[in-house]
């Protein structure tokens, strides 16, 4: 039973991993630092651990999909992230891909 | 040194040198917020034990750092099945070759203990070399395949 649960958890994580990139790209149209971005995602019921969000933001920036800037917020300096023009292009392409795939999948699941 | 500095130093140990300062700067801000939230929940300043407990909820330092790792695996997943297969065949071949050497030595009248000692000594050299050579061959193959895949994706 524990093995089945572990396997289900691992499949669930695998399923979410790719879609989280899409969610983060969609949420960074307006610039935000990590905690705000996490809240923004949570408002749309997309939950992501802090420990996973920051490395992902950095990876997306390295790929040129996000741009970032250090800025003062209250008494602290925070790193603000925003989608780059290339990120917007990729978001557009990925969301089309997502919609087409999701449509096919829903059709397939509807036949079960 | 407070608990936050200690935790960040532990994370920093595992981070790639090139990005270390930048990642730690960002993590410090995140963890300061986390400690401030824990403090306001507790209603008083955290003692070192409580601060350690709050920080440990963020994750083990080595695991936190590993999430930032962007280094490619030594052998990529696409080739890993072939790698294990070739390694197993090569090791079996090396063992078989030494079994043949052992049989020949015994057939020509060598003392069993001497023949076994000779083959055991050879195996100590042959097996690590087999693993090393197969690994290097696959690392090279992996780089060539990835290079080709990158080149064709740009076309």
- DSSP secondary structure letters along B130-151: HHHHHHHHHHHHHHHHHHHHHH
Beta bridge partners of B147: none
Residues of chain B with C-beta less than 8 angstroms from the C-beta of A59? 70
What residue in A sits closest to B27 (Cα-Cα)? A54
> For A63, which residue in chain B has the nearest alpha carbon?
B70
Mean pLDDT value of segment B99-113 = 91
In this complex, do A35 and B26 lie within 8 Å of one another by their Cβ atoms?
no
Question: Along the 112 residues of chain A, how does pLDDT read in single tens digits?
Answer: 677 888 888 888 888 888 899 999 999 999 999 999 999 999 999 999 888 899 999 999 999 999 999 988 877 888 999 999 999 999 999 999 999 999 999 999 987 6
Which one-letter DSSP state was computed for residue A84? -
Is the interface score ipTM higher than 0.85? Answer: no
Q: Which of B58, B10, B63, B16 is nearest to A34 (CA)?
A: B58
**pLDDT at position B153, please?**
56
Nearest to residue A28, comparing CAs of A97, A77, A79? A79
CB–CB of A76 and B68 under 8 A?
no
All residues of chain A having their beta carbon less than 8 Å from the beta carbon of residue B72 are none
Chain B neighbors of A76, CB-CB under 8 A: 29, 32
CA distance A99 to chain B (A): 24
Q: What's this model's pTM, rounded to 2 decimal places?
A: 0.74
- Considering only CB atoms, A55 lies closest to which of B29, B32, B67, namely B67
Query: What is the number of CB-based contacts under 8 A between chain A and chain B?
Result: 32
Residue A83 · residue A29 · CB < 8 Å: yes
φ and ψ at residue A88, rounded to 5 degrees: -65, -40
Give the closest-approach CA distance of A51 to chain B in angstroms: 7
Phi and psi at B22, nearest 5°, equal -65, -45
Band (pLDDT 50/70/90 cuts) for residue B151 is: low
């Amino acid at each position: 039973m524990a093995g089945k649960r572990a396997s289900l958890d691992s499949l669930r994580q695998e399923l979410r991993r790719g879609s989280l990139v899409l969610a983060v790209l969609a949420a960074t149209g307006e610039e935000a630092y990590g905690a705000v971005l996490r809240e923004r995602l949570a408002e749309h019921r997309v939950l992501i651990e802090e420990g996973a969000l920051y490395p992902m933001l950095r990876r997306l920036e390295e790929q040129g999909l996000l741009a970032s800037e250090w800025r003062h917020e209250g008494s602290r300096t925070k790193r603000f992230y925003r989608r780059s023009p290339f990120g917007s292009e990729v978001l557009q392409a990925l969301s089309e891909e997502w919609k087409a795939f999701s449509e096919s999948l829903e059709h397939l699941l509807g036949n079960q | 040194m407070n608990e936050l500095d200690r935790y960040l130093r532990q994370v920093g140990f595992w981070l790639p040198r090139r990005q270390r300062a930048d990642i730690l700067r960002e993590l410090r801000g995140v963890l300061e917020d986390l400690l401030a939230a824990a403090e306001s929940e507790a209603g008083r300043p955290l003692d070192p034990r409580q601060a350690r407990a709050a920080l440990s909820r963020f994750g083990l330092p080595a695991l936190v750092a590993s999430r930032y790792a962007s280094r490619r695996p030594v052998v990529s997943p696409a080739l890993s099945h072939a790698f294990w297969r070739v390694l197993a065949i090569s090791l079996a071949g090396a063992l078989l070759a030494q079994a043949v050497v052992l049989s020949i030595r015994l057939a020509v009248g060598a003392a069993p203990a001497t023949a076994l000692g000779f083959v055991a000594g050879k195996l100590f050299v042959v097996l690590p070399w087999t693993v090393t050579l197969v690994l290097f061959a696959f690392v090279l193959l992996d780089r060539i395949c990835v290079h080709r895949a990158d080149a064709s994706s740009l076309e």
